[in-house]
A and B are shown apart, each in its own frame.
Chain A
Amino acid sequence: MLPHGDDEEKWLAEGIAGIQHNAFYMHRALDSNDLKDALRYSVQMLSELRTSLLSPHKYYELYMRAFDELRKMEMFFREETARGTISVIELYELVQHAGNILPRLYLLCTVGSVYIKSKEAPAKDVLKDLVEMCRGIQHPIRGLFLRSYLCQISRDKLPDIGSEYEGDADTVNHAIEFVIQNFTEMNKLWVRMQHQGPTREKDKREKERSQLRDLVGKNLHVLSQIEGVDLDIYKETVLPRVLEQVVNCKDELAQHYLMDCIIQVFPDEYHLQTLETLLSAFPQLQPTVDIKTVLSQLMDRLSNYAASSIEVLPEFLQVEAFSKLSNAIGKVIEAQVDMPVVGAITLYVSLLTFTLRVHPDRLDYVDQVLGACVKKLSGKAKLEDGRATKQIVALLSAPLEKYNDIVTALKLPNYPRVMDHLDNGTNKVMAVVIIQSIMKNTTFISSADKVEALFELIKGLIGDMDETQDDEIDEEDFKEEQNSVARLIHMLHNNDPEEMLKIICTVRKHIILGGPKRLPFTVPPLVFSALKLVRHLQGQDGDVIGEETSATPKKIFQILHQTIEALLSVPSPELALRLYLQCAEAASDCDLEPVAYEFFTQAFILYEEEVADSKAQVTAIHLIIGTLQRMNVFGVENRDTLTHKATGYSAKLLKKPDQCRAVYACSHLFWVDEQDGIKDGERVLLCLKRALRIANAAQQMANVTRGSSGPVVLFIEILNKYLYFFEKGNPQVTSSVLQGLIELIKTEMQTDGSSDPSADAFFASTLRYIQFQKQKGGAMGEKYDPIKI
C-alpha cells in the first residue's frame, strides 16, 4: 500500500498544513513565554513527522519545515534558560515527558543543543545520551531524518580539539565516538530499508534509498571535519570503525556509496597512509558492488595527489602504494568472479594511470600491470565487448601518452600480449595510434630488437590477422593504414650501418609476408631506406675500408633484389621497374657495374614481359632512358648493349608520336654532358634523324587517316633537341641542318590549314630563343649567326 503520486501530494499537503497550524499556536505560546503550551504545540507539530505515507523526497519537505520551526524552539529554550525561568536540566527532563517518541526525541535533541551550549554538562555526555536515546526510532526513514537532525545540530558542538566544547584530554575520542555511532546507526537503518516492504517494489525502494544516502554520508563528512582526527586517530580508530560498518552491512548500495564517500571526504594523504587498511576492505565487499568505479576513484585521486606536488612522491614510495594497490586489485578480481572483463580492465587502466603518474621511472610496474591484465584476459577469445575494447585501448595508450616514446613501450614484454586480445579492427586502430605516436614525437627506432617488437605490436597492419578476411575493409582506410606503415619504416633508423642492416632485414622479414595488397605500399619505403643506407656507406667509404663488415652495399643490393622480386608476384611491374632503376642508379654510384647491370637487366625483362600497356610502356621507357643516361659505371660493351636495347624498344612503341619522342630522348644516351661522358655526335644525329623520319611518318599517317596533317609539334620538339646539341657543340649538328629544319617546319605550318595555337606559340618562342642567342653575341652569337629566321 505505498502511495501514488497524487495521494502523496495530498498527504504532504495535509502534513504541511498540520505543521503550520500547530506552528501558529506554538509561535503564540512563544510570544507569550508560555513554556507549557509551546511544548504542547511543538509536540503536536512534530507529530506530523510520524507519518509513514510519504516517500523520502516528500518526507524531506515536511522535515525541512519542522526543522525551521525547531530553530525557533531552540531559540526560545535558550532565552528561557538564560532568563532563569527554568534550568536547562529541568528542561531536558521536561521534554522527555512527551508520550510519543518521535516528537520527544526531536525536542530532546533541540534542548540538548542548548544544554551543550550552556556548558552545564560536558558536551560528550549530552551527545552520548542523545545518540543513545535515538535508538528508539527504528523506522528507517524517520530514524534517518531524526539522526540527521542530531547530526545537524551537533556538528558545531562536538568536543573537538580547539572547540569551545573541548573537555578533558580524551575529548576528541568522544566526538569521534559520537559521530561514528550515529553513522553506524544511520547506516543500519538505511540498509534495513530495502528489506522492508514487498519484494516487487524493490527497485522503487532502491531509488528511494539512494535519495537518502547523503543523510548517511553527512556523518562521514562531519568526521572528516573534526580537527582532532589526525592521521593517527584516523588510522587507529576512524577508518577501521567505519570500514567495519561498511563491510558488515553487506549491502551493495551502501557499500558502494560509503566507500566512495570515504575516498572523497578524507584527505588523500590519509588514504595513502592507510592504503592497506582501506584496500583490505574491498575484497570483503559484496560481489555485486561496483568496486571498479570506487577503486578507480581512489587511484585517480591518489594519482592527482601525486601529480599535485613533487614532494609527496616519496610518501608513495614509502608506503609501497603500487604494490598495495596492485595486490588489492588482484584480490578484488579474484573475489568477484562475476565481474565483467570491462570492470577488471577499467581497474587496470586506473592502476596504470596511477603508476605512470607516481612511478614514471618504474617500467617494470607498468609491465606488471599489463601482465596482470593479460592474465585476466588469458583463456578468453578476442574481446567482443565494445566497452572492454575501449578500455584496453585506453590501457595501451596511456604509456604511449606518458612517455611520448614508443621505445619505452617496446620494452614492455606484456604490451603486445595485451594487444593480442583486441579484435582485429581495434588492433589496427591501436597500431595506428602507436605509429602516430611515433610520428608525432619523431621517435627513431634504432635497433633491430625494438623493430622486431614494434612489428609485433603493429602486426595487425602488417599482415592479415587471420583467415577470415572481412570484405568490408574500406579501401581508403586501408590505404591510410598502409601509408602510415610506410611512413613508419622511415622512422626506423640507426646511424650504425650494421644495426641499420639488421633493421632492414627485420622489416623485410615482416613486410614480405604482407600479401599482395600491402607490398606496393611497404616495399618502396623499405627500398629507399636501404638505398639511403647504401649512400651512407658510400659516404664514409674511406673510413670503413679494411674492416670486416657485413653491411656492404653489395649485400644490401642482394637484399633489395630479393625484396623487389616480391613485387613481381603482386603483380606490380611498373613499381618494381622503378625500384630496379633506382637500385641500378645507386649501384652505379657505388661503382658496382655487375650489380647495376643486373638491375637493368631485371628492368628490361620486366619491360618486356610485364609491361604491356602502351602508356605504361612510354613512361617506363622514358624512365629507363633517363636512368641509363646518368649511369656512368658501365663499360663500353655493357653500355652499348643497354643503349641499344633502349633505343630498340623506343622505336618499337606503338604510337608514332611516342616512338618519335622516345627516340629523340635516346639521343641523350650518346651525349652525356659531363667531362668524361661519351659524346658520340654521330649517333646522336642518327637518333635525331630517325626521330625526324618517324615524325614524318606520323605526319603522313595523320594525313591518311584524318585527312589533315599531323602534329607539327613533334618537329618543333626535335628542333629543340637539335638546338640543345648545337649549343653543346656536337659537331654533327650544324647551323645548316638547323636552318633546314626550321624551313621544314615553316612549310609544314603553312600547309597545315588548321593551325594549332600551342604549336604556334611553341615554335614562336623557339625562334625567339634563336633570335636571342644571335643577338647575345660572343661565341654563342657567332655560332647562331648563320641561322636565318
Chain B
Amino acid sequence: MNYIIGAFKPPCNITISFADGKTRKKASIKKENGQTAMVPLFQSLENIVGEVSIEPVQGKKIEHTGVKIELLGQIELYFDRGNFYDFTSLVRELDVPGDIYERKTFPFEFSSVEMPYESYNGINVRLRYILKVTISRNYVSNIVESQDFWVRNYTPAPTINNSIKMEVGIEDCLHIEFEYNKSKYHLKDVIIGKIYFLLVRIKIKNMELEIRRRESTGSGPNTYVETETLAKFELMDGAPVRGESIPIRLFLSPYELTPTYRNINNKFSVKYFLNLVLVDEEDRRYFKQQEITIYRLQETS
C-alpha cells in the first residue's frame, strides 16, 4: 500500500515561509469550506521576503529544469471558475536546472511590491495574492506549491468628507429629513446622524438602518450584481409625530465590512449603502438608499 501511495505523492515537500512570519500580523480569513484560517498580512509596497525549502522524500532525487517563485495577484470570477486573471505577476528564479538530493533552501525577496488591490472573498468574485513555487521538470508534470497571503491597504482619512443630508418623502404622506455625519467612514467608524420627521401621515411601526453591500462583477451584458444586507439596526420603535428627531448612532465595528472597491481592474466593484427603512403597521416598507464610502484607516497603534 505504501508503495502505491508513494507513487502519487509528490516526491518532495515544499514549504514557503516568510522571514518575519512569527511577528507579522495575520488576518483571519474565512475559507470556502467555512473554516477560518490565519494568513500573513501585507500591504502594498512592502518587501516580501522569505525562503523556500525543498525537501525530497527520503531516498529520492528530483531532477528539474529550474525552480522559480512567482508572486501573483489574481482575480477569480466564479462564473468563469478556474480562469484566473493575473493582474500582478512577479518571478524570481531560485535554482538553475539540476538535481536536488537533499533538503535545500532558497531565500527570495520581492522588494516594494505594488499590490494595489486588497484581498477579497466575495460572493461572485475572489481577489487573492499567492506565492507560487514551481519546480519544472521534463516529461513529468511540474511540482507546484503555493502560499496565500492577505493584503490590506490603508488609506489616510479623506480631507473632504461631507455629511449626507437629504430630504425625502412621499407627497402628503411622509416627509423626513435625514443626516449622516459623513459620507466616508472607516471600518471602525461610527455613523452618527439623525432623522427628522417633517410630516407623518402613516402609522409607522419602526425604523431601521441597514448596511448593504453591493458586489457587481463582470462588465457589459455579463454583469452580475449581488446585494447582501450586512446589518439591520433598529433606530426607532413606535410611531413618531411631526417634529420628532431620532438619533442615529451605529458602530461599524461589529460588522464584517471591507473598504469600498471601485472598478477593480475592470473586473468587479464592491459598494456600500446605508438603507433607511421605515415600516408601517401594514408592513409596507419605505426606504431610501444612500451610498457611503468605506475605507481602511491606518491604525495609529
Contact = CB atoms under 8 A, between A and B. Distances in A.
Interface in A126-148: 132-133, 135-140, 142-143
A277 interface: no
B244 interface: yes
Contact of B238 (A99, A100, A133, A142): A142
A97 interface: yes
B234 A99 contact: yes
A196 B249 contact: no
Nearest to A93: B251
A664 to B, nearest CB: 106
Nearest to A139: B238
Nearest to B239: A138
Nearest to B204: A138
A299 B233 CA distance: 52
B236 A101 contact: yes
Interface string B218-251: 0000000000000111111111110011110101
B6 interface: no
A440 to B, nearest CB: 61
Given A99-B232, A99-B233, A138-B244, A143 B251 contact: no
Given A101-B237, A192-B241, A96 B246 contact: no
A97 B251 contact: yes
A138 B247 contact: no
B235 A101 contact: yes
A100 B232 CA distance: 9
Interface in A98-156: 99-102, 104, 132-133, 135-140, 142-143
Interface size of B as a range: 20 to 34
B299 to A, nearest CB: 16
B245 to A, nearest CB: 7
B156 interface: no
B59 interface: no
B254 interface: yes
Interface string A693-727: 00000000000000000000000000000000000
A137 B247 contact: no
Interface string A524-559: 000000000000000000000000000000000000
A140 B236 CA distance: 12
Contacts of A137: 236-238
Contacts of A101: 206, 234-237
B232 A138 contact: no
Contacts of B241: 138, 188, 192
Nearest to B238: A139
B92 to A, nearest CB: 45
B235 A136 contact: yes
A132 B251 contact: no
Contacts of B231: 99
Interface in B11-44: none
A331 interface: no
B236 A138 contact: yes
B233 A136 contact: no
Contacts of B246: 135-136, 138
Given A133-B247, A138-B244, A97 B235 contact: no
Contacts of A104: 234
Contacts of B244: 135, 138
Nearest to A133: B247
Contacts of A136: 234-237, 246-247
A50 interface: yes
B114 to A, nearest CB: 37
A102 B244 CA distance: 18
B239 A132 contact: no
Nearest to A108: B249
Contacts of A50: 237
Contacts of B236: 101, 136-138
Nearest to A137: B237
Interface in A58-113: 93, 96-97, 99-102, 104
A138 B240 contact: yes
A90 to B, nearest CB: 11
A195 to B, nearest CB: 8
B212 to A, nearest CB: 15
A133 B237 contact: no
Nearest to A185: B244
Contacts of B240: 138
A188 B246 CA distance: 14
B249 A133 contact: yes
Interface in A28-71: 50
Given A135-B244, A138-B244, A96 B249 contact: yes
A135 B254 contact: no
B245 A135 contact: yes
Nearest to B232: A99
Contacts of B232: 99
Interface string B249-266: 101011000000000000
B251 A142 contact: no
A138 B237 contact: yes
B233 to A, nearest CB: 6
A387 B206 CA distance: 50
Contacts of B235: 101, 136
Given A96-B251, A97-B254, A100-B234, A139 B239 contact: yes
A98 to B, nearest CB: 9
A99 B229 CA distance: 13
Contacts of A188: 241
A196 B239 CA distance: 9
Contacts of B234: 99-101, 104, 136
A445 B236 CA distance: 76
A532 B234 CA distance: 96
A583 B231 CA distance: 112
B238 A138 contact: yes
Interface in B195-230: 206
Contacts of B239: 138-139, 196
Nearest to B245: A135
Which of B233, B234, B238, B249 has the most chain A CB atoms closer than 10 A to its own CB?
Answer: B238
A132 B237 CA distance: 14
A132 B247 contact: yes
Which of A93, A104, A138 has the most chain B CB atoms closer than 10 A to its own CB?
Answer: A138
A50 B235 CA distance: 14
B200 to A, nearest CB: 10
A140 B254 CA distance: 30
A563 to B, nearest CB: 79
A142 B247 CA distance: 17
B14 to A, nearest CB: 41
Nearest to B233: A99
A192 B239 CA distance: 10
Given A97-B251, A138-B238, A142-B238, 15 more contacts: A97-B254, A100-B234, A101-B234, A101-B236, A102-B237, A135-B244, A135-B246, A136-B235, A137-B236, A138-B239, A138-B240, A138-B246, A139-B238, A143-B237, A196-B239
9 residue pairs, one from A and one from B, having the closest CB atoms: A139-B238, A138-B238, A101-B234, A138-B240, A97-B254, A137-B237, A100-B234, A136-B236, A139-B237
Interface of A: 50, 93, 96-97, 99-102, 104, 132-133, 135-140, 142-143, 188, 192, 196
9 contacts: A97-B251, A99-B231, A99-B232, A132-B247, A136-B236, A136-B237, A139-B237, A143-B237, A143-B238
